Amino acid sequence: MPRSSAPSDRPGKRVLVITGPTAVGKSEIAVEVALSLGGEIISADSMQVYRLMNIGTAKPTESQKKGVPHHLIDVVWPDEEYSVARYQKEGRRIIEECHKRGSLPIVVGGTGLYIDALIRGYCFIELKTDWELRRQLELEGKNLGTHALYDRLKAVDPETALKIHPNDQRRIIRALEIFLRTGRPRSYYDKLRTVPNYDAIWIGLTRPREDLYRRIDRRVEQMFALGFVEEVRELLKKGYHRNLFSMRSLGYREITDYLYGLSTIVEAMRLIKRNTRHYAKRQFTWFNRKEGITWVNLGEITEDKAISQILYYLEGKKNSL
């Protein structure tokens, strides 16, 4: 049976969350659960929002969706910004629309920040981008290193710094921008968060590490077989340059380096496998800090059995209301 780290029930509109590390098998199980419950899937993947980036983000194909409505996939072009604040706003609107249609909203993905913003609530500051300030901070990072920006953030907002990886320059700069423009740290605004009235049930999918890492390796090899290199080549031809946030993402940056002659295709594949394993490890760490997730170990049971257990568990939750 699934194991739960803590109870999470409270009255409100029901939302199901299916999460876990990359390549664990979330999409396949979520579709089957949605078919059984009359649900609609809301993607919680920060890369699947980009159009034209299909293979490297492992977007589900139409046949894999099996007719289940999927939302927040193919939202913006690769050179457009897409913020957590926008995801929160659009995701909550879709949740409300699902409830009006009598459908169960099922949030599926491994981008923990997106899920937290949607379900647990964050307060976002509406600031138009100050491009000059951003360029100054990016130049500082280029000249002094990301660690210098991180040290600067720790000095003015130690709480937020603890939540950001020291190499995540994009989020470090965003946190510094908030402090420099408002005079208050990001952590101050986080305390103003409003939690929506959702009865959120969290299901986490996991596997033994070695099993997951083998699945990651197979997925990367399949991506190359499906034309991942050609996908990146076409993006570059269309003018989506290598320094865009979307093009610096996992997989795309390694293949871009190969296409620019900075590595071999063998090295690109090796790095994508390695970096994806590192990403999965960070996801494990993030989810293990969260309470209220009921975990299903796919290393112990088949996917069909896991689906049955999830449906049985949800039926019990329904009857307990």
Instruction: Report d(CA 202, CA 215) in Å as an integer.
Output: 23
Domain boundary among 152, 171, 190: 190
Burial of 86: CB neighbours in 10 Å, binned 0-12, 13-18, 19+: middle
> At 25, phi and psi to the nearest 5?
115, 25
Residues of the chain under the 50 pLDDT cut? 5-11, 321
pLDDT at position 2 is 52
Cβ neighbours for 46, distance < 8 A, ≥ 6 positions apart? 82, 87, 111, 113, 114
Cβ atoms of 254 and 271 closer than 8 Å? yes
In what side-by-side order are the strands of the sheet with 39-43? 3-4, 293-297, 198-206, 13-19, 104-109, 39-43, 70-71
The answer for residues whose C-beta is within 8 angstroms of residue 319's C-beta and 6 or more apart is none
Tell whether 215 and 71 lie within a shared domain: yes
Final residue in a domain of this structure, among 151, 166, 190: 190
- DSSP at 203: E
Strands 293-297 and 198-206, by their bridges, are parallel
Q: Based on the structure, what is the number of domains in the chain? A: 2
Q: What are phi and psi of 136, to 5 degrees?
A: -60, -45
CATH number at residue 207: 3.40.50.300
* One domain for residues 179 and 43: no
Look up the domain containing 160 and give its range: 131-190
Clarify whether residues 302 and 197 are in a common domain.
yes
225 and 311 within one domain: yes
For CA atoms 240, 242, 247, 252, the dihedral sign is: positive
Q: Are 25 and 317 in contact (CB under 8 A)?
A: no
Would you give the end-to-end CA distance of the chain in angstroms?
21
* Domain end marker among 171, 190, 209: 190
| 73, 46 contact by CB (below 8 A) | no
Q: Are residues 223 and 246 in the same domain?
A: yes
Tell me which amino acid residue 8 is: S
3-state secondary structure of 50: strand
What pTM does this model have? 0.83
Structure tokens at 35: 């078919």
In the chain, count H helices and then E strands.
14, 7
Q: How far is CA 83 from CA 51, 78, 211, 279, 321, in A?
A: 15, 13, 33, 20, 35
Q: Which helix (H) or strand (E) element contains residue 122? A: none
Please give the pLDDT value at position 316.
87
Residues 288, 105, 87, 151: what is their CA dihedral angle, to the nearest 10 degrees?
Answer: -10
Q: How far is CA 150 from CA 157, 161, 283, in A?
A: 10, 7, 21
Asked if residues 226 and 55 have their Cβ atoms less than 8 Å apart, the reply is yes
Whether residue 223 sits in one domain with residue 114? yes
Q: What is the pLDDT of residue 320?
A: 55
223 lies in the same domain as 85: yes
Q: Are residues 208 and 286 in the same domain?
A: yes
CA distances from 227 to 23, 55, 112 (A): 19, 7, 28
Place of tokens 């049971």: 301
